[in-house]
């Protein structure tokens, strides 16, 4: 029995895979030493590899890389995302550079070999900092992250990309068929009932009543605003699906290095507002979003960056409608976090931020 699930990552295996993928045309890997890499809030296991190449290696490949791996098929969505980008020759500078990816049935794990950016970049905020609302990225940092997100969304806006992505990524928790959505809605109802029972002794009764009133409207909202678009893959894109500032690498020096988006384990097909609400509403109370019109300025900055990628059929007004719609749906994603046993600051602060956005963005108007 092997002591490490990464026993297969040998110099010989790396050499073979680098040649197979076209990354290497001459030379070989002669040594691969790995050490654990600790990354806050990561649900995957990461190992840093120090690679040594023969003197005649061409082209020059990174000497330090990070292998991310997850047991079973839990990381296959991310593997599929990188395969999709490669298949369609999409070179998105905002996506963290990856060398190899795949699934190992013998070891029962998916893997992703990425450039090691830990010396040149920092994560904008940790999950703990975010859910306790202790740190807000500067507007400069937020704008750079939104530019990276728009770059990714714009690259995946194409019909040919979405058609290939559709069987793999699904449509988030909304789906494109009535039966699928009805099943999902039934689960949301069960989760809300369990949530209400768990918190009714202390959670504000008027907010519980508000949530109970919103829930029955979800099918109509879905039919009116999402079903046709999700079925026809119109004005939607591949989204990160777990889009928080902790999933952006920001350069730690002012040398014009790119901002990178990473961690695509929950990638799915949805409106771009799916990611934007996670990023700008979760853990930002109304006063943070409204200060100096921060939210509006950031959304306008994102939209301009999206248009710059070549997207020409999506107005800012449509973006705002989708943004308000995703606030409504993600209320129940926050409730799901409580049911799953997430830490109270995580789900409670997120839920209160979303309820605040529901009010100040007049999401009630969508229900009527």
For tokens 């990381």, the residue is: 75
Residue 164 located in a structural domain: yes
Are 51 and 106 found together in one domain? yes
What pLDDT was estimated at residue 1? 42
> Which whole-number Å values give the CA distances from 71 to 76, 107, 172, 241, 265, in the listed order?
10, 8, 22, 20, 12
What pLDDT was estimated at residue 3? 60
Cβ-contact 268, 241 below 8 angstroms: yes
Are 262 and 357 found together in one domain? yes
For 328, the token pair is 């409504």
3-state SS, one letter per residue, for the chain:
CCCCCCCCCCHHHHHHHHHHCCCCCECCEEEEEEEECCCCCCCCEEEEEEEEECCCCECCCCCEEEEEEEECCCCHHHHHHHHHHHHCCCCCCCECCEEEEEEECCCCEEEEEEECCCCCEEECCCHHHHHCCCCCCCHHHHHHHHHHHHHHHHHCCCHHHHHHHHHHHEEEECCCCHHHHHHHHHHHHHHHHHHHHHHCCCCCHHHHHHHHHHHHHHHHHHHHHCHHHHHHCCCCEEECCCCCHHHEEEECCCCCCCCEECCCCCCEEECCHHHHHHHHCCCCCHHHHHHHHHHHHHHHHHHHHHHHCCCCCCCHHHHHHHHHHHHHHHHHHHHHHHHCCCCHHHHHHHHHHHHHHHHHCCCHHHHC
Give the global pTM: 0.95
Q: How confident is the model at residue 170 (pLDDT cuts 50, 70, 90)?
A: confident
Are 46 and 79 found together in one domain? yes
Are 90 and 166 found together in one domain? no
What backbone phi and psi angles, to 5 degrees, belong to 109?
-150, 155
Are 46 and 167 found together in one domain? no
List the domain range (segments joined by +) for residue 218.
123-367
Residue 44 located in a structural domain: yes
Q: What is d(CA 342, CA 329) in angstroms, rounded to the nearest whole number?
A: 19
**Average pLDDT score, the chain:** 93
Are 78 and 208 found together in one domain? no
Which one of 115, 149, 180 terminates a domain?
115
Residue 359 located in a structural domain: yes
Are 189 and 258 found together in one domain? yes
Are 208 and 274 found together in one domain? yes
Are 144 and 197 found together in one domain? yes
Farthest CA pair distance, the chain: 70
Are 82 and 136 found together in one domain? no
pLDDT in tens, 144-169: 999 999 999 999 999 999 999 999 99
Task: Give the CATH number, domain containing residue 47.
Answer: 3.30.200
Cβ-contact 65, 99 below 8 angstroms: yes
Least trusted range by pLDDT, from 36-45, 233-242, 350-359: 36-45
Q: How many domains does the chain have?
A: 2
Q: What is d(CA 15, CA 61) in angstroms, rounded to the nearest whole number?
A: 11
What pLDDT was estimated at residue 86? 97
pLDDT in tens, 279-334: 999 999 999 999 999 999 999 999 999 999 999 999 999 999 999 999 999 999 99
Residue with the bigger pLDDT between 91 and 128: it is 91
pLDDT in tens, 254-271: 778 899 999 999 999 999
Residue 39: exposure state from Cβ atoms within 10 A (0-12, 13-18, ≥19): middle
Closest CA to 296 of 318, 273, 320, 274: 320
What pLDDT was estimated at residue 269? 97
Q: What is d(CA 290, CA 217) in angstroms, rounded to the nearest whole number?
A: 27
Task: Give the CATH number, domain containing residue 226.
Answer: 3.90.1200.10
Q: For the chain, how big is the Rg over CA atoms in Å?
A: 22
Averaged pLDDT for residues 76-104? 96
Residue 1 located in a structural domain: no
Q: What is d(CA 104, CA 73) in angstroms, rounded to the nearest whole number?
A: 10
pLDDT in tens, 128-145: 787 778 778 999 999 999
Which one of 83, 115, 147 terminates a domain?
115
Are 147 and 245 found together in one domain? yes
For 38, the token pair is 């600790």
What pLDDT was estimated at residue 213? 97
Cβ-contact 58, 27 below 8 angstroms: yes
What pLDDT was estimated at residue 41? 56
Angle, alpha carbons 12-16-17 (nearest 5°): 115
Which one of 89, 115, 141 terminates a domain?
115
Q: How confident is the model at residue 39 (pLDDT cuts 50, 70, 90)?
A: low
Are 93 and 209 found together in one domain? no
């Amino acid at each position: 029995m092997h002591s490490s699930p990464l026993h297969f990552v040998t110099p010989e295996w790396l050499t073979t895979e680098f040649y197979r993928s076209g990354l290497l045309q001459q030379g070989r890997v002669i040594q691969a030493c790995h050490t654990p890499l600790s990354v806050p809030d990561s649900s995957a296991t990461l190992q840093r590899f120090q690679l040594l190449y023969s003197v005649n290696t061409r082209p020059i490949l990174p000497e330090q890389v990070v292998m991310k791996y997850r047991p079973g098929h839990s990381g296959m969505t991310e593997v599929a995302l990188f395969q999709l980008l490669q298949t369609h020759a999409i070179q998105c500078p905002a996506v963290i550079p990856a060398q190899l990816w795949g699934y190992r049935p013998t070891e029962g794990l998916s893997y992703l070999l990425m450039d090691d950016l830990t010396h040149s970049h920092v994560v904008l905020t940790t999950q703990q900092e975010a859910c306790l609302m202790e740190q807000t990225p500067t507007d400069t940092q937020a704008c750079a992250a939104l530019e990276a997100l728009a770059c990714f969304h714009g690259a995946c806006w194409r019909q040919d990309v979405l058609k290939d992505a559709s069987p793999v990524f699904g449509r988030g928790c909304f789906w494109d068929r009535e039966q699928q959505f009805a099943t999902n809605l039934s689960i949301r109802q069960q989760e809300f009932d369990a949530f209400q029972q768990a918190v009714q002794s202390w959670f504000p009764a008027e907010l519980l009543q508000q949530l109970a009133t919103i829930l029955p409207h979800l099918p109509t909202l879905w039919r009116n605003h999402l079903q046709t678009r999700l079925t026809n893959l119109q004005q939607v894109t591949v989204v990160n699906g777990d889009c928080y500032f902790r999933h952006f690498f920001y350069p730690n020096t002012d040398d014009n290095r790119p901002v990178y988006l990473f961690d695509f384990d929950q990638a799915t097909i949805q409106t771009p507002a799916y990611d934007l609400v996670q990023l700008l509403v979760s853990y930002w109370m109304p006063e943070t979003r409204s200060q100096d019109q921060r939210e509006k300025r950031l959304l306008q900055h994102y939209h301009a960056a999206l248009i710059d990628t070549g997207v020409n059929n999506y107005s800012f007004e449509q973006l705002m409608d989708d943004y308000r719609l995703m606030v409504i749906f993600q209320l129940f994603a926050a409730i799901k976090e409580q049911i799953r046993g997430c830490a109270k600051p995580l789900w409670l602060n997120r839920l209160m931020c979303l309820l605040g956005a529901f009010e100040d963005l007049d999401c009630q108007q969508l229900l009527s």
